[in-house]
Amino acid sequence: MTVARSERLLILLQVLRRYRQPVSGAILAVETGVSLRTLYRDIASLQAQGALIEGEAGLGYVLKPGFMLPPMMFSQEEIEALVLGSRWVAKMADPRLAAGAVDALQKIAAVLPPELKEEIDNSTLLVATPRSREDKTDLAMIRNAIRAEHMLDLAYEDEKGTITQRRIWPFALGFFDSVRVVVAWCEMRRGFRHFRTDRIISAVSTGERYTRRRLVLLKEWRKEEGIAAPG
């Protein structure tokens, strides 16, 4: 399988980072799967981009600390993950977050090498348009409350149509194919509850911080639900 040049350079950098002492070109060529001649050209390319690679043929090479990757070097799988993720958010999230996903992908594409930009433009990974239920409240406001660890006052309608007033401590927002769910500590129920955003009649931020940290609540909720933390 042919590897794009930008991906090949990224692999070479990752290999070099594993060695603290000079490593021969022959070893680097084997580990990156290229000829020795190609390896020397790739090293020269990285040096031209600012990589602090010291050494020469016959003596070995070492990457000095402090070098950051050239802007936006991604493997093909990473590009596909970015495209798929951005397209999913653009269709599943609230308008402001959806616009953010589109803008972020455009910024990434603007600084990619031509061959990788083409991967974004020609990606065949598609996301279906969901049959989502209409939200009656501002999800951007809810996301802001989660970031600020602020309590929310809700008017919430349950599956039977009964409306209750709740004060909650929101700490997560889940996105599913057809619904979105606020995960929170509910003062009325004295426990964790899940609030579908299409059933939130109104939501007002109190501007007051709740007494426990968001990450602590998230950890306890995961434990209670038997959900493993992301790896």
pLDDT at 228 (0 to 100): 75
Q: Own/partner pairs for 85-90, CB < 8 Å, 24+ apart?
A: 87/125, 87/126, 87/127, 88/127, 90/127
Distance between first and last Cα of the chain: 29
SS3 50: coil
Ranges in the chain, pLDDT < 50: 1
Per-position DSSP letters for 86-105, written without gaps between them: HHHHHHHS-HHHHHHHHHHH
Q: What integer pLDDT is reported at residue 132 of this predicted model?
A: 66
The domain spans of the chain are 5-63, 76-121, 139-225
CATH of domain 139-225: 2.30.30
pLDDT at 133: 72
The answer to whether the pTM exceeds 0.75 is no
**What pLDDT sits at residue 67?**
56
CATH number given to 5-63? 1.10.10.10
Helix (H) or strand (E) holding 76, with range, is helix 76-92
